[in-house]
Amino acid sequence: MTFKLGLTGSIGMGKSTTADMFRAMDIPVWDADETVHRLYDIGGAAVEPVAALVPDVVEAGAISRPALKHAIARDPTILDRLEKIVHPLVARDRATFLENQAAAPLVLLDIPLLFETGADGWLDAVLVVTSDPETQASRVMARPGMTEATFAQIRDRQLPDAEKRVRADHVIETKTLEQTRADVAKLVATLTGKGADDA
């Protein structure tokens, strides 16, 4: 039985870096954001239905995320209809990933809005990555085009870090790469060990 570990964390907490450490240990990783990018790209399953909903967001055969963001800002009712298109496609992609990895003892599902979307209800455990507010802010503000206002807006949409940590089964503090890598290795050993024992 494959153990499904969910990974989440607020912006700037080191989630992508941590997911890469699982990949480096040959743990299959499904990435919700990457899936949406694929669905919006040329030939992606979301292009046609989203284009039917908002025709002016298609550029060179793909959905332009900036144009889509502007369209939603102009008409917030688009968001609900967009989610009705995209969420089932994302769920189907995730189901295919899980089918393909049925023999793996452990898989990681990288889901930014994990608690916000209720994914903790079907996962076997949740890992939250965290850091101190100063480190988080310095990481986020170093991103190209990031502003204080955008950072605040993103943070407001996410469940507070303290609440995520309380609801998590496992917490890794991403202070240094070495320490984070060691904590990931320890968690993988624990979870795959459990899987072996259960088998």
Q: What is the pLDDT of residue 194?
A: 52
Reported as a pLDDT band with limits 50, 70 and 90, residue 195 is very low
Q: Global pTM?
A: 0.88
Residue 173's SS3 state is strand
Phi, psi torsion values for 51, nearest 5 degrees: -65, -35
CA dist 86 → 47, 110, 166 (Å): 10, 17, 30
C-alpha 143/C-alpha 83 separation (Å) is 27
Query: Over the stretch 170-192, which tens digit does the pLDDT of each residue have?
Result: 999 998 999 999 999 999 999 99
Is the model's pLDDT at 196 over the cut of 80? Answer: no
- Domains of the chain as residue ranges with CATH: 1-28+105-199 (3.40.50.300), 32-100 (3.40.50.300)
Tokens of 197: 């024992």
pLDDT in tens, 137-156: 999 999 998 999 889 888 88
On the question of pLDDT at 197 being above 50, the answer is no
For β-strands 58-59 and 62-63, DSSP reports them as antiparallel
